[in-house]
Amino acid sequence: MKFCSECGYSVSLRIPPDDDRQRHVCDDCHHIHYENPRVIVGVLPTYGSKVLLCKRAIEPRKGFWTIPAGFLENGESTADGASRETWEEARAKVGECSLYCVFDLPYINQVYMFFRAEMSSDEFSAGPESLDVALYEEQDIPWSELAFPVVTSSLKYYYQDRQSGVFPTRNEVMLFKRPRNG
């Protein structure tokens, strides 16, 4: 950041009074510019015993499979954002969303919040950010072609929890980048 979004003057990186870390502070109006993690929301959509996955049409990881997810928009709840992303990427409608997995990725300043939800019908199609969309049984999941470690972890948790019928809310902190499918 080079300029203040409040007044347009230059900013300096320094520790403001009563703070404990460096921030971009305007050299004129003294506005403090906080940089906070981005929140990504998504749904692990199911239809019967199958899970809906999207093949990414955009970078990063274009051509790899993921669950429908994206950045939370201002003014929406996390569940509403997750449902919106499911519609945008997979043209699928889901019922009530239940928080399932929260992943903290401090090394890239992101927080992922994934919900579980049953699809309202078996109707779906690729949205503008997806090359393909498909329902998969567990044995058919393209494990080596999954886009992100958080997707791999979510699916592994889901299939583990499905055996017991108990789906606890999970929270995992990923302090470093793990192998894509490890």
pLDDT, tens digit only, all 182 positions of the chain: 999 999 999 999 999 999 999 999 999 999 999 988 999 999 999 999 999 999 999 999 999 999 999 999 999 999 999 999 999 999 999 999 999 999 999 999 999 999 999 999 999 999 999 999 999 999 999 999 999 999 999 999 999 999 999 999 999 999 876 555 54
- The structural domains of the chain, with segments of one domain joined by +, span 1-35, 38-173
> Each residue of 125-168: pLDDT tens digit?
999 999 999 999 999 999 999 999 999 999 999 999 999 999 99
Check if the beta carbon of residue 55 is closer than 8 Å to that of residue 133.
yes
CATH superfamily of 38-173: Nucleoside Triphosphate Pyrophosphohydrolase (3.90.79.10)
User: Topology of domain 1-35, per CATH?
Assistant: Ubiquitin Ligase Nedd4; Chain: W; (2.20.70)
Rounded CA-CA distance 115/88 in Å is 16
Question: What pTM, to 2 d.p., does this model score?
Answer: 0.87
